[in-house]
Structure 1
Amino acid sequence: MTERIFNFSAGPATLPLSVLEEAQQEFLNYKGSGMSVIEMSHRSKEYEAINAGAEAVIKELLGLGDDYRVLFVQGGASSQFAMIPMNFLGEGQIADYILTGAWAEKAQKEATKFGQTHIAATTKEGNYARIPQLDEIKLSEKPAYVHITSNNTIFGTQWKQFPDYGDIPLIADMSSDILSKPFDASKFALIYAGAQKNLGPSGVTVVIIRKDLIEQGNKNIPTMLRYDTHSKNDSLYNTPPSFSVYMVGLVAQWIKKQGGLTAIAKHNEEKAALIYDTIDNSGGYYTGHAEKDSRSLMNLTFRLPNEDLEKAFNSEATKAGLSGLKGHRSVGGMRASIYNAMPREGCQALADFMKEFQKKNG
């Protein structure tokens, strides 16, 4: 399909072409039901199977058992910033937050509306160019939970090794790198992710939560903001974002078909290397924002020698079919978001464009 471009947007982001084609084929008549997924009742057997299947394949990819639930909720990751402390930050307790970017800041700020927080570590002083070392993290005496953001979309940094605090619940916003590499998901009491970066279209937030944590949730908050509501009703308490859940299930199945998280990680490492090698071999023409040991495999941030060149780079790249490369204002420059679904060909095309642009403008 030559009319398709390479979409490097941070989100909503590119989806696997084969998944889009599968959804297209099933759009008018899902598996002989005579109707589209977007038309069917969420109480129907067909949709309940879609919902259950999506939960099952995500748990399979992460190696999780019956002590976890996968919930499909609405409100985006931003609603989780409030929902987590509402459920798990009790009176007199402290929640610890590790700040590695703007989204971690927002999560911590939202939690202060419901209780006391402690900043266990931050790399703000260096404009979030790195992930803190584990020995830099200083927890409060008895935190209710510890919150991290696994990948920082704006600044282009990513945790390479996750902390482990034993019985203290570890909670992670994994919106921009979930299912992109193998990791021990059982270390986490709760993982949440807006789907629109690495899982599917916008409209649904995936919450992976340990059952014992669900039971600890505050029972005196609105029904829709309680995790036990969604768990007891299999994410069907109210009408879910059914088509988005369906798409998440297809994307998760696609990852499984690629060989699971080990294979997808190798794919992501090879893709990122094409661009990072171009930056590192440019003689300083391109400079990365993130320190090398904190570089993200999902969001690659870099600058050019001046803003005029950056504007020209973005404009010419767009004309060349390389879209969504303008960086966030907090960092400036360029940002290439190369989530699971970005093919190697897209990264090769960007690397070739970068070399040619430098040759013409260096």
Structure 2
Amino acid sequence: MSTDHGRVINFGAGPSALPLSVLEEAQTGLVNFAGTGMGIAEISHRSKEFQAFLDGFERDIRTQLDVPPTHRILFTQGGGTGQFSAVVLNLLARYKLLRPQASAEDTVLDYVVTGSWSKKAAEEARRLGGSTVRTVVDARVYSKDGKAFDNIPPHAEFAFSADPALIYYCENETVDGVEFAHDAQSPAAFPFHLLPQNTLVPLIADYSSSFMCRPIPRLADHAVIYAGAQKNIGPAGLTVLIVREDCIVDVDAAAKLGAAPVPLILSYKTLADSGSLYNTPSVLAIYMAGLVVKRMKENGGLPYYEEVNRRKANKLYAAVHEGEQKGVFRRKVQQGSESWMNAVFEVLGEGAEKKFLDGAEKEGMKGLKGHRSVGGVRVSLYNAVTEQEVDKLIAYMARFLAESASVEAAA
């Protein structure tokens, strides 16, 4: 029987909330995993028990996301930041094998920059060199102030290169609260129809903060999808990769042709050939994420979570809109580009934001302060945040609005 363990509601952006039932189940595994008499943090990653768990974890991801046999599922470390480098090095190796005569100037990397994380990814690509890094579109140009990441740019502004070594986008920008729309017909959806045609497009997607919150649109059309686990499915220390087979290349052969050498630990071929066990993986993080994904399957899988996440986001944005009408809240993202997972807004007035955050914390709701680079309030609505917990926040927001109106009336 679960107890609350004195827990608060965690609206933090990551490491984020995990289901209490999984945390309780993990307690048992920390002491005795799969009847081995050893805890999961002690057991060999080469043991048959851990291998069986890893295989099941992979199957649960493949089944729920409907990952086709053309793609491998790999597990590694380094988080999304590690993949900023890995995707560049592996895709440049692929491109060199396909076009050995191409110079660095001829080798183009396309980056769609819609927020802080895609901006950092593009910066890392430039730092690594060996290619021409091109910004397909920069969302700041289309913002209300010309500086903020607050929108998905119009499709007419996207202009992909004819033959890029990679095309990179971040599906959900955790810091800025901007996400490509879920409706394929929306002007804020990712413009798949504008991608180069009649080729295996080297499309890369950072799904770190929206992985497993809903199905991935046109998953099979991606070359690489990656996600740090510490948002929706597990603790920090694990990165999940979905890699198309043609992107698992011999990086040493590419280096002989002039491509940059790829550290073995960053090579997708190394990971694939070793079944993600080239080195000691993040055993505990894999275990807990595996428990989460198994629980998701038992609850009805992604259709269930998509519907619940839709309701949570709709309720919260309705509450923000009500606060806007009353001059207390101000949304930071243009309508249609808002994230389901990370809702951001400002509380207007001298000292009002601190008052809002302090009041929420007194009621057991933590992790609501916006990222240090942008400020404001950020509400992260990951899978483990329940609809009832969101309702509690919305009730608090309504009381805050009422109190603000009373103060204004008294003044």
TM-score normalised by length of structure 2: 0.85
Is it true that 1:110 corresponds to 2:124 in the alignment? yes
Aligned partner of 1:88 in structure 2 is: 91
For residue 13 of structure 2, give the secondary structure of its aligned residue in structure 1: coil
CA distance in 1, matches of 2:213, 2:31: 31
Which of 15, 20, 24 aligns to 1:21? It is: 24
For residue 208 of structure 1, give the secondary structure of its aligned residue in structure 2: strand
For the 8 Å contact 2:90–2:247, the answer to whether it is kept is no
Is it true that 1:250 corresponds to 2:250 in the alignment? no
Is it true that 1:73 corresponds to 2:76 in the alignment? yes
Which of 154, 166, 171 aligns to 1:133? It is: 154
Listed as ranges, the gaps of 5+ residues in structure 2 are 97-103, 182-188, 256-260, 406-411
CA distance in 1, matches of 2:367, 2:273: 40
Residue 332 of structure 2 aligns with an amino acid whose one-letter code is H
Aligned partner of 1:348 in structure 2 is: 391
Is it true that 1:317 corresponds to 2:340 in the alignment? no
Listed as ranges, the gaps of 5+ residues in structure 1 are none
For residue 96 of structure 1, give the secondary structure of its aligned residue in structure 2: strand
Aligned Cα RMSD in Å?
A: 1.5
Q: CA deviation at 1:98?
A: 0.2
Residue 213 of structure 2 aligns with an amino acid whose one-letter code is S
Is it true that 1:169 corresponds to 2:202 in the alignment? yes
CA distance in 2, matches of 1:307, 1:81: 39
How far does the alpha carbon of each residue in 1:182-241 deviate from its partner, in whole angstroms, 9 at most, with x for none? 233112110111111112000111111111111265553221121100000001000111
CA distance in 1, matches of 2:157, 2:295: 38
Is it true that 1:328 corresponds to 2:371 in the alignment? yes
Aligned partner of 1:151 in structure 2 is: 172
Which of 190, 205, 211 aligns to 2:245? It is: 211
- Runs of 4+ residues deviating >4 angstroms: 216-219
Over the matched positions of the two proteins, sequence identity in percent amounts to: 39
Residue 266 of structure 1 aligns with an amino acid whose one-letter code is E
Residue 63 of structure 1 aligns with an amino acid whose one-letter code is D
CA distance in 1, matches of 2:334, 2:9: 26
CA distance in 2, matches of 1:216, 1:188: 20
For the 8 Å contact 1:307–1:333, the answer to whether it is kept is no
Q: CA deviation at 1:88?
A: 1.1
For the 8 Å contact 1:8–1:325, the answer to whether it is kept is yes
Q: CA deviation at 1:307?
A: 5.0
CA distance in 1, matches of 2:350, 2:262: 48
For residue 292 of structure 1, give the secondary structure of its aligned residue in structure 2: coil
For residue 72 of structure 1, give the secondary structure of its aligned residue in structure 2: strand
Change (3 A) 1:66 1:141: closer
Q: CA deviation at 1:97?
A: 0.3
Residue 215 of structure 1 aligns with an amino acid whose one-letter code is V
Q: Which has the larger radius of gyration?
A: 2
How far does the alpha carbon of each residue in 1:275-325 deviate from its partner, in whole angstroms, 9 at most, with x for none? 111111222321111112011110000111135100111111111100010
1:186-265 to structure 2, matched below 5 A, reads 186-215=220-249, 217=251, 218=254, 220-265=261-306
Aligned partner of 2:47 in structure 1 is: 44
Matched residues, number: 362
Residue 308 of structure 2 aligns with an amino acid whose one-letter code is H
For residue 36 of structure 1, give the secondary structure of its aligned residue in structure 2: coil
CA distance in 2, matches of 1:199, 1:178: 8
Change (3 A) 1:35 1:25: same
Question: Quick check: 351-360 or 6-15, which moved more?
Answer: 351-360
CA distance in 2, matches of 1:292, 1:216: 45
For the 8 Å contact 1:88–1:216, the answer to whether it is kept is no
Residue 230 of structure 1 aligns with an amino acid whose one-letter code is L
For the 8 Å contact 2:250–2:269, the answer to whether it is kept is no
How far does the alpha carbon of each residue in 1:54-112 deviate from its partner, in whole angstroms, 9 at most, with x for none? 11111111111322111111111101101111111254311100001010000001011
CA distance in 2, matches of 1:335, 1:216: 42
Aligned partner of 1:302 in structure 2 is: 345
